[in-house]
Amino acid sequence: MNSGTIKKVPVDKLEVGMFVKDFNDEWQNPDDSGKPSSFSRQPRKLTSEKEIQTISDRGIKEVFIDITKGKDAEGQTQEEIEDELQAQMLALDDDDSVGRGFLSEVSFEEEQEKAANVKKQARTLVGNILADARMGKQVTLESVNDAVRGMADSMFRNPDAILSLSLIKSRD
């Protein structure tokens, strides 16, 4: 199938006669409301405005249509979407603020001590966050971000060091 025949279209641009190939809603729980749903995710040609409203009411923002089986619409083709994603990935690769580049690997022994400190700080942080939550205090994410960054940096330097620490079980 030609990638130019499938388009991503915003729900507010749907029209009766378009063929929806994919509802782009796999992330949704099929019965969010707790009630049985008659909504079918099967590919189909739209036959009524009520059907389009149901799609919108389910929180779906975009669908994929097949223009060989129904009406055409303005939207991105699969090829355009892939090109856009590729450009975004290349931009992230060039952005030094994202990922801060890969750190040089160090020996297991060198990293093990650093990893132990990172793990200790993270455990203390979790304890503090739980205590704050019990007291009704607001949790700040800045310290969480720092802890996660420390774990990620340790993983990049030597993945075995921090992983070995995660396998050690302690008694509560």
Q: Which of 35, 56, 76 is the last residue of a domain?
A: 76
The pLDDT value recorded for residue 26 is 64
The pLDDT value recorded for residue 117 is 86
| Residues 126 and 65 reside in one and the same domain | no
108-134 and 159-166 helices cross at what angle (nearest 10)? 50
Q: How many structural domains does the chain have?
A: 2
Helix (H, G, I), strand (E, B) or coil at 6: strand
Does the residue 171 lie in any domain?
A: no
Report pLDDT digits (tens) over 17-57: 999 998 877 655 555 544 445 567 789 999 999 999 999 98
Does the residue 42 lie in any domain?
A: yes
For 23-127, where are the E strands, in sequence order? 44-45, 62-66, 76-77
Does the residue 91 lie in any domain?
A: no
Question: What domain range includes position 28?
Answer: 3-76
Tokens of 117: 């400190």
The pLDDT value recorded for residue 103 is 52
**DSSP bridge partners of 1:** none
Low-confidence residues of the chain, pLDDT below 50? 1, 33-36, 97-102, 171-172
The pLDDT value recorded for residue 165 is 64
The CA-based angle 166-171-172, given to 5 degrees, is 105
